[in-house]
Amino acid sequence: MGRHTIFVMLALTAMWVILVEDLSWQTVAIGMFVSMLAMHYMGKYLKHDEIENVNFYKLATYPFWLIAKIYMDAFYLIRMIFSDTKCGVSKEHLVPENETLRMILLDSVTLTPGTVVVDIEEDEIILLSIEDRKVEGYPFARKGLREIENVLREAHIAK
């Protein structure tokens, strides 16, 4: 059992304790057992080819960054609701080639207020966006997509 395995088991056990909302030796013991069982099945049945080019240590702060971005976009969207807005579809080019980072990107874009992923075709993403009528196109959606891409690009390991 290596350091990585111990770290993963402790992290999963901590998540178990948080989700159960109880801190006792029984909860920790059950959490460790469930963590070992989950790690065994993940190692046996899940292939890791898709994630081998992703540095997850660089993604450690990503959820906190995304939560801050969601709140900032929500304040912008509240302002948009009380002004003259338009809704429409735009097509943007996707930069990440790694499928795992693409899925994280698509989920993150959908989580941010004001944009929804409609479809993905090869290297193109179709977004449903809301924007001010005075602005041509959908620069807010494009800016948000590029910000998320830049953060995720740091986690890509080039081979």
Q: Where do the domains of the chain lie, and which CATH numbers do they carry?
A: 3-45 (no CATH), 62-153 (3.30.70)
Q: Phi, psi at residue 47, to the nearest 5°? A: -85, 140
> What pLDDT, on a 0 to 100 scale, did the predictor assign at position 159?
63
Q: Is the pTM of this model over 0.75?
A: no
Q: Per-residue confidence of the chain (159 residues) as pLDDT tens digits?
A: 567 778 888 889 998 998 888 899 999 999 999 999 988 888 887 766 666 677 777 778 888 899 999 999 999 888 888 888 888 888 888 877 778 888 888 999 998 988 899 988 888 889 999 888 888 888 888 898 899 988 888 877 766
Query: Exposed, middle or buried: residue 118 (CB in 10 Å: 0-12, 13-18, 19+)?
Result: middle
